[in-house]
Structure 1
Amino acid sequence: MLTPTGEIVAEARRRGVGVGAFNVITVEHAEAIVTGAEAAGCAVVLQISENAVRFHHGRLGPIAAAARSVAQLAGVPVGLHLDHVESDELFDQAAGNGFGSAMYDASRLAYDDNVAATAQAARRGHACGLWVESELGEVGGKDGAHAAGVRTDPGEAAAYVAATGVDALAVAVGSSHAMTSRVARLDHELIARLRAAVAVPLVLHGSSGVPDDELRAAVRGGLVKINIGTALNVAFTGAIRTAISANAGLVDPRKYLREARNEMAAMVTRALHTVTLAA
């Protein structure tokens, strides 16, 4: 069932567990994420990034409609989230396309400019009923938009949340976008300090490269929304490679996309068991 992201995150935070938020690129991604969440018996968040919208010719409506329909038919609560939005025009389309939340990403900007832009976006988003996430500090690996190794300062984070009015904060604590191996090590002392300093839920981006034990410790330490994207694509692409390698004459996309969808669903179930059993 389609459920506001803020409600899903608030319930997870109350229970001391994490929420898995998975990136949607194709309708098969959305179907796999929900199938995996239903198998785990967990709420989940479907995320569509600005990069994914760009892949779909810059049109949010079609992929949003597909993800929204999948969410509405789900047997578990499913949030719909617009992720890493730098475009004001795209951000302002979120509510009208059924999104309950959006992440406004002004992290490229200097601190004062980030605060000003994010505060304006949060006011517009709240007026439309959106739960608004933003980012402070720089999570590595996102096509040069973020420099690796820049951590979120707890005092600055507290001031940032107060000045912008955001509902959740993505923090840089050692993860990196687009990692295909799970070798990242998080700064758990910093996570504890951020949790103590910041009143809103904390978000971990770049979780695909973080091992299970690190994810469990991070959720116990105070991170709530756990974003996963690359791991889905590793499963997706690996299944297609295997299917086509086994049958060079294969041309029906349903036959290899079915395997890709199944592999992604299994990956989602495993990840949800990790982040929701952390307590």
Structure 2
Amino acid sequence: MTLTPTRVLLQEARDAARGLGAFNVIHLETAEALVAGAEEAGLPVVLQVSENCIRYHGGFDPVTKAVLAVADASSARIAVHLDHAEDPDLALRGIDAGFGSVMFDGAKLEFEENVLWTRRVVERAHSAGVLVEAELGEVGGKNGAHTPGVRTDPDEARDFVAQTDVDALAVAVGSSHAMTERVADIDVELIARLSHAVPVPLVLHGSSGVPDARIVDGIRAGLSKINVSTHLSNVFTSAVRRYLADHPTAVDSRAYFSTGRDAVRTESARLLTLFADNERP
């Protein structure tokens, strides 16, 4: 099946008041696992390639071409997204490479500068039919922020979307990147206010630190795209650790990487089902 535009999957999720899983690729095994999870669940998924992932693989082409190929060969509906591009040029490269969406992350910039650069990326992306996600407010984890002072303001969000014409907005509502324990408490009331304030789908970053039930509450309050990375990496690594503990003489990395891949397939299918099965009252 050919790639599905992110715009289509995200609009379907928003119209149905459901969550769309967007999961980060770390390496080829991750991409294979996430696609297999989508096929097992019978649900769409967004494969996300981050700026950090591209850096790890030594350049843009090796990992992005592999992910696009894995997605294109799947029987599931798969979109491919460039995640957390802080460099506008990288966002533009994602547009040219055939990604269904790109995220320009200008959250560290002052409001006016974030608007300026986001609008430039949006203009280029829309001419190619590509969706743009932006971030307003600061999602913790990258600099240790995880306090009420970094929440997204609904009035500012409304102005930002109007000035940039962005298609989706990542909001700071209490989650934090790279959390290995699922103990974060997102502000569901703020999510509802943001959902009423802006006309575009809302995105939750840092979802790995949020318990299942609280993510469901957030979806019911207005979240549409749920990003997960660290939690699935933890699932992969835990499975590999168990295999190596049980097989101390193992040397073939395919043997233990396949256990990690299987574990991520199972957990990603579970998360996709969780997000999709919880409609707002």
1:259 counterpart residue number = 259
One-letter identity of the residue aligned with 1:261: R
Task: Trace 1:239-258 onto structure 2 (pairs within 5 A).
Answer: 239-258=239-258
1:14 counterpart residue number = 15
Q: Is the Cα–Cα contact under 8 Å of residues 151 and 172 in structure 1 kept in the other structure?
A: yes
2:145 counterpart residue number = 147
How far is 1:12 from its partner? 1.1
**Aligned-partner Cα distance in 1 for 2:85–2:63:** 16
| 2:125 is equivalent to residue 125 of structure 1 | yes
Task: Trace 1:1-279 onto structure 2 (pairs within 5 A).
Answer: 1=1, 2-57=3-58, 59-142=59-142, 144=143, 147-149=145-147, 150-279=150-279
Normalised by the size of structure 1, how large is the TM-score?
Answer: 0.97
How far is 1:174 from its partner? 0.8
Unaligned runs of 5+ in 2: none
How far is 1:182 from its partner? 0.8
Show structure 1 runs of 4+ deviating over 3 A.
Answer: none
How far is 1:109 from its partner? 0.6
**Aligned-partner Cα distance in 1 for 2:205–2:248:** 37
**Aligned-partner Cα distance in 2 for 1:191–1:236:** 30
The percentage of aligned residue pairs carrying the same residue is 50
One-letter identity of the residue aligned with 2:185: R
How far is 1:37 from its partner? 1.1
Q: In the TM superposition, what whole-angstrom CA distance separates every residue of 1:202-244 from its partner, at most 9, and x where no partner exists?
A: 0000111111111111111110000000011101111111111
How far is 1:95 from its partner? 2.4
**Aligned-partner Cα distance in 2 for 1:26–1:82:** 15
Normalised by the size of structure 2, how large is the TM-score?
Answer: 0.96
Unaligned runs of 5+ in 1: none
Could you say what the CA RMSD is over the residues aligned between the two structures, in angstroms? 1.0
Moved more, 70-79 or 41-50: 70-79
Q: Is the Cα–Cα contact under 8 Å of residues 215 and 274 in structure 1 kept in the other structure?
A: no
